[in-house]
Amino acid sequence: MKKKIAIPDTLSRLLAVILIAVLLSITCPNFLTVNNILNIFNQASLNVFIAIGMMMTMLIGGIDLSVGSVLAISSVLSARFFFRDDLVSIILGILFAITIGIACGLVNGTMVSVFKLPAFLVTFGMSQICRGFAYLYMNGKVFNGFSDSFKVIGKGRLVGKVQMPILISLVCLVLMAMFLKKSILGRQIYVSGSNPSCARYSGININKITMLCYAFSGMFAALAGVVYVSRLDAAEATIGTAYANDAIAAAAIGGISFAGGKGNVYGTVIGAVLLTLIKNGMNQLGIATEYQKLVTGLVIIIAVLIDRKSAKIAR
């Protein structure tokens, strides 16, 4: 009773996922296999990275539409590091990608906080700029044939059959959950999101917090880029165009408020998994892909509707 109000929220979402999973395992025989379940999580992991970053910007009442393009630019620029079968080179490459992601995020954050521009427009502009640079840099080329050690990141399996991306996203999930719940900065993010004016009077540097959140978003986009390139063994300028949409969908289903200050990592991850689950299930049932978007859209709206209703009841 004394614990938290967020738990029933997250719990109900978890129940929804389990319910859908149970329904699917009854209707299609191939659903409840270890391989398929792992596959779902593996597919969801990319969106998990990006959605966690998206959530960070939404917690302070912002949004980051540039994640897909940041993913593209950071992965094409860092791709050269990944040809050599050399651990140092790969680590340098990952750091380089992440640096680019953070730099893009900091530019976004500066525009939103210092120059007080609307996040929607700034990140939309940034998305065009990054995409444009990626096109210019690649000039229609596709990089592939990366080193085997690099491919471990996207395709490797640890602990039996569990894919690396699942493990990496699990680590991110735990770290970010701890950061948001236990650290002073995490708390300050929530305060800034729920009442910026109160945050200011409480001595919180909102500009710093805003930049931090956008930097996180850029970093996670870059990280997703590295995993993506490793998994597909291909880096090109066109990757990740729909990723911002997927991440926003996951966050919305996960109960992250667009007004800021409300939501947590668990909800976001559940949102991402739920999205993948629906796609996977519909594929298994042989439902045409055209219907998938339709269902996804409905799920988003229903989730937000339920959120709004339950918030009213709580009041």
Return the ∠ at Cα 255 (arms to 254 and 259), rounded to 5°: 135
Which part of the chain contacts another protein (CB under 8 A), choosing from 1-9, 163-171, 218-226, 270-278? 1-9
Query: Rounded to whole angstroms, how far apart are CA atoms 158 and 42?
Result: 13
Q: How far is CA 288 from CA 18, 279, 282, in A?
A: 23, 10, 8
Contact between residue 248 and residue 295 where contact means Cβ atoms under 8 Å apart:
no
Interface with another protein (CB under 8 A), residue from 93, 165, 218, 261: 261
Interface with another protein (CB under 8 A), residue from 191, 212, 222, 300: 191
Interface with another protein (CB under 8 A), residue from 4, 80, 308, 309: 4
Which part of the chain contacts another protein (CB under 8 A), choosing from 95-103, 164-172, 197-205, 242-250? 197-205
Residue 233's contacts (CB-CB under 8 Å, 6 or more residues apart) are 144, 145, 146, 151
Nearer to another protein, 9 or 246 (CB): 9
User: According to the binding rule CB under 8 A, does residue 184 interact with another protein?
Assistant: yes
3-state secondary structure of 141: coil
The H or E element containing residue 124 is helix 119-138
User: According to the binding rule CB under 8 A, does residue 182 interact with another protein?
Assistant: yes
- Token pair 């976004």 in the structure block, residue: 108
> How many residues contact another protein, by CB under 8 A?
27
Nearer to another protein, 264 or 280 (CB): 264
Nearer to another protein, 246 or 307 (CB): 307
Query: Rounded to whole angstroms, how far apart are CA atoms 283 and 279?
Result: 6
User: According to the binding rule CB under 8 A, does residue 199 interact with another protein?
Assistant: yes
Interface with another protein (CB under 8 A), residue from 103, 117, 170, 185: 185
Q: How far is CA 87 from CA 100, 126, 153, 163, in A?
A: 20, 32, 12, 20
Bridge partners of 163? 157
Using alpha carbons, select from 132, 125, 67 the residue that is nearest to residue 100.
Answer: 67
Interacting residues with another protein between 78 and 137 (CB under 8 A): none
Which part of the chain contacts another protein (CB under 8 A), choosing from 70-78, 86-94, 180-188, 294-302? 180-188
Return the sign of the alpha-carbon dihedral for residues 219, 221, 224, 228.
Answer: negative
User: According to the binding rule CB under 8 A, does residue 12 interact with another protein?
Assistant: no
Nearer to another protein, 199 or 265 (CB): 199
Binding mask 200-229 for another protein (x = CB under 8 A): xxxxxx------------------------
Nearer to another protein, 183 or 241 (CB): 183
Nearer to another protein, 5 or 136 (CB): 5
Query: Rounded to whole angstroms, how far apart are CA atoms 311 and 143?
Result: 49
Strands 157-158 and 143-144: unpaired
- Min dist CB 205 to another protein, Å, is 6
Positions in the binding site for another protein (CB under 8 A) = 2-5, 181-185, 187-188, 190-191, 194-195, 197-205, 261-262, 315
